[in-house]
Structure 1
Amino acid sequence: MQVKKYPYCDLNRYRGLLIEVGLILSLGICLLAFETKTTVKKSEITGSIVTQDIDNEIIPITRQEQVKPPPPPPPPRVVEVLNIVSDDIEIDEELEIEDTEADDQTAIDITPVVTAYEQEQEEEEEEQIFYIVEEMPEFPGGELALRKFLANSIKYPVIAQENGVEGKVYVSFVVGKDGYVTNARIIRSVDPSLDKEALRVVNSLPQWSPGKQRGQPVRVAFSVPITFVLQ
């Protein structure tokens, strides 16, 4: 059965209108509340005003008492001890005074005085290393004997053989005034094991004929290449 409603009995037909009216009224009330101004009435003070004097309290300035350090202790008293010696002691030793006057025949030893500059010059000449001199150092038997000595003394390192390392190591050294080799060092490296072996061989070199400059033996720098080749 279909339900039928009469339009005049519908309670929701004025719902939208009532909502709009309510919104308008509330908005109007809010605007009226914001626009309303209240006037301040004249204020009256009842009673009398009493002024009260405030005493300024003076705060005393206090300082912390300094604690003085205790006085140092008095120095220890020195007690003098007098040893009384009898006067009847005889002294066997007699004071001898030598004559210090010199004559024409008196020999005087004079130690030569070496100045600091001369000493530095001598040290520089001793430490100076020459690269080219009038007579170069010479290995016993010449250059061919030096090559033969190096070839016979070299022991190829096992680790270098296993890794297949080859090359030419340049070693620099100084031939001293006495002909012995000193200050050997690597100037061109190939492998640490080969460098170590090259230094060992150079340090084992026998005595050379020292180099000379102006007829005097001097220190001369020298270098040799040592070749390591696998066969």
Structure 2
Amino acid sequence: MQVKKNPRADLSRKSLIFFQIGLIFVLALVYYGIEWKFNVRETSSISYETAVPELTLEDIPVTEVKELLPPPPPPPIPEFIEVIPDELEVEETEIRSTETNQEERMEKIVEVAEIIEEKIEEKVEAVPFVLIEEVPLYPGCENKGDNEARKKCMSAKINELVRNEFNTSLGDKLNLYGINRIFVIFKIDENGKVTDIKTRGPHKALEAEAERVIKLLPQMMPGKQRNRPVSVLYNLPITFEVKNL
């Protein structure tokens, strides 16, 4: 069965009427918008008042202006001017030329004494044992080849001497129980002799004993720095323990 369209339901037939109605509506709306009037509200006037502080007028004192006096008149000019003669005699100094010529003869020849050049020896400070280039040669260490081997040999010889000669029984007699330390510093001078012994310990008797033992060190071959004999500074700690039985 074929569906047939009602000719009355066709809206395209009335499209011109709808267009005219819409155009009239839009024109009316535009006209109404142009003729619309807005009422401007009057803004309320607000008065502002500023408080200005009152100015206090100061009384200016009246100062008296003194009248300026005219300058004093110049001194009178004398009628006669006395001329004082200049009797001062001026001695003119004669400037002689210092240039000489070959024809002039020298009156006196000054002899110059022989110049003796004084040699000032450079004083080298004591070098620490660990920094010396050539260590002092302790007796019995001559067969050691290098410098480090001689250092170890010298330290071993000194420790052996202290261990055999130091009287540790002094600590027991002085009731110095426990570990006792004596710090000793001495020099081996340019001639290889032990000098400038300084000790520090818990008792004067131990310091004197340490000094006595260090004086037993034999004379050595001096140490050298830059191929020159110098003093060598040696530090020796002496440590021993006294047990309280």
TM-score (norm 1): 0.43
Q: Taking structure 2 as the reference length, what is the TM-score of the superposition?
A: 0.41
Structure ID, larger Rg? 2
